[in-house]
């Protein structure tokens, strides 16, 4: 990739603090949000297993110039980035790369299925669990056993409902914070036809309501509930509404299995990721497998060539190449008569002929 452009934030020049300062400085007036910070809530930091996973995956990503341009455009405009491309080209890893590069904490991941609804992303409410516990308390009381209230559990409506509510990945991303979180909405093209439209209001307003808390707001205006990061990492929700302060960095991925309505597309920055070139594949292999870039690539150059050849006849995913190189470096399938079977086993095409 060429030298970084002056206006880039992601993969830009300077320290992480300087890049984040540019992000804060260039905020469109129509994308300013006024969520009030909760002084008792501390978002996850760049430490711990969740962050290690994000950093490990994101630091090995090799973006090209078009990808960096698109990411930074989305950052400046505070708009979701809709990333399309064939399976296995690294669409999901791009979200981890943004989080790792700007040190924004662990990626919040929402894997979408055909059954996913907007509420699944915003919050979960375990109504059945609450009913079960209520029945159990009633049974204990009727038997004269010490109920939960007697063991110190408060009876107020907010305290009673709080253990059964937890913010989802989208809801956690929309919490009012000084620093934006990275949210990966994976395979949105697999969703119900209504989900992209349902997301429009949330993306425009940067807020949402939890009806279960709004109904008790007069009696209990503030309730502390769990987050996607940790059910025990509680945050205050006031009057049932969550309003962001720094709009999250939203990366939506699509394998192109469906079209999206124009109003949804209008609110996104779109990026199509092409299958990586031979040069880019070499960089990916070196970075992901932590190989010395000063040495030759004789140990795996033939596998990259084989990957490129087989890809012309059917889709292959980059992680299949990484698997092949890892096996080669581990000494597996090392027999001279095993090469053909090795390639057919590890580099099986996702489409087209299997052989």
Residue 11 in any domain: the answer is no
- Tell whether 103 and 209 lie within a shared domain: yes
Instruction: Give yes or no for residue 7 having a pLDDT over 70.
Output: yes
What pTM does this model have?
A: 0.88
Name beta bridge partners: 235. Answer: 225
CA atoms within 13 A on the CB side of 175: 32
Q: Can you list the positions of beta strands (E) in the chain?
A: 81-84, 108-111, 123-125, 165-167, 182-186, 207-209, 222-225, 235-238, 241-243, 249-254, 269-272
Give the pLDDT confidence of 37-78 residue by residue, as tens digits: 999 999 998 889 999 999 999 998 999 999 999 999 999 999
Neighbours of 250 (CB within 10 A): 27
- Closest to 83 (Cα-Cα) out of 269, 310, 295, 276: 269
- Tell whether 229 and 340 lie within a shared domain: no
Residue 215 in any domain: the answer is yes
Contact yes or no for 111/188 (Cβ under 8 A): no
**Boundary of a domain, candidates 228, 247, 272:** 272
- Tell whether 81 and 173 lie within a shared domain: yes
DSSP category for residue 43: -
- Tell whether 223 and 181 lie within a shared domain: yes
Helix, strand, or coil (residue 189) = helix
Number of domains in the chain: 2
What contacts 51, CB < 8 A, 6 or more positions away? 44, 45, 105, 106
Instruction: Give yes or no for residue 3 having a pLDDT over 50.
Output: yes
- Tell whether 73 and 187 lie within a shared domain: yes
- Tell whether 114 and 246 lie within a shared domain: yes
- Tell whether 203 and 54 lie within a shared domain: yes
Rounded Cα distance, 171 and 183, in Å: 10
pLDDT top residue among 292 and 110: 110
The CATH number linked to 92 is 3.40.50.300
- Tell whether 339 and 225 lie within a shared domain: no
* Residue 321, pLDDT score: 94
- Tell whether 100 and 52 lie within a shared domain: yes
Residue 355 in any domain: the answer is no
Instruction: Give yes or no for residue 154 having a pLDDT over 50.
Output: no
Give the pLDDT confidence of 13-27 residue by residue, as tens digits: 999 999 999 999 998
| Residues of the domain holding 323 | 278-346
DSSP category for residue 166: E
- Tell whether 215 and 318 lie within a shared domain: no
Instruction: Give yes or no for residue 353 having a pLDDT over 80.
Output: no
Residue 133 in any domain: the answer is no
Q: What is the DSSP string of 198-258?
A: HHHHHHHHSEEE-HHHHTTTTT-SEEEEB-SS-TTS-EEEETTEEE-SS--EEEEEE-SSS
**Boundary of a domain, candidates 272, 291, 313:** 272
Residue 138 in any domain: the answer is no
- Tell whether 169 and 32 lie within a shared domain: yes
**Boundary of a domain, candidates 253, 272, 291:** 272
């Amino acid at each position: 990739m060429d030298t970084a452009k002056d206006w880039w934030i992601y993969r830009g020049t300077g320290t992480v603090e300087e890049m984040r300062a540019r992000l804060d400085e260039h905020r469109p007036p129509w994308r300013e949000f006024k969520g009030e910070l909760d002084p008792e809530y501390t978002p996850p930091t760049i430490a711990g297993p969740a962050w290690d996973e994000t950093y490990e995956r994101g630091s090995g990503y090799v973006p090209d110039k078009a990808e960096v341009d698109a990411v930074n455009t989305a950052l400046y405009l505070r708009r979701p980035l809709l990333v399309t491309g064939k399976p296995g080209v690294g669409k999901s890893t791009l979200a981890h790369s943004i989080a790792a590069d700007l040190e924004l904490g662990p990626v919040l991941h929402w894997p979408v299925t055909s059954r996913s609804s907007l509420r699944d992303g915003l919050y979960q409410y375990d109504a059945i669990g609450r009913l079960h516990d209520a029945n159990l308390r009633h049974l204990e009381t009727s038997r004269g056993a010490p109920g939960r209230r007697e063991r110190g559990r408060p009876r107020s409506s907010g305290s009673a409902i709080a253990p059964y509510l937890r913010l989802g990945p989208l809801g956690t991303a929309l919490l009012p914070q000084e620093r934006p979180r990275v949210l990966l909405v994976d395979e949105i093209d697999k969703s119900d036809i209504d989900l992209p439209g349902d997301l429009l209001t949330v993306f425009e307003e940067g807020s949402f309501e939890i009806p279960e808390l709004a109904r008790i707001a007069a009696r209990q205006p503030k309730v502390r509930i769990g987050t996607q990061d940790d059910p025990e990492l509680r945050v205050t929700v006031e009057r049932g509404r969550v309003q962001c302060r720094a709009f999250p960095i939203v990366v939506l991925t699509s394998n192109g299995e469906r079209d999206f309505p124009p109003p949804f597309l209008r609110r996104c920055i779109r990026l199509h990721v092409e299958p990586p070139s031979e040069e880019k594949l070499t960089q990916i292999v070196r970075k992901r497998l932590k190989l010395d870039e000063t040495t030759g690539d004789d140990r795996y150059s033939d596998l990259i060539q084989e990957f490129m050849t087989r890809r012309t006849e059917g889709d292959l995913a980059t992680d299949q190449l990484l698997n092949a190189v890892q096996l080669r470096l581990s000494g597996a399938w090392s027999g001279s008569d095993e090469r053909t079977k090795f390639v057919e086993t590890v580099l099986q095409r996702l489409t087209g002929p299997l052989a």
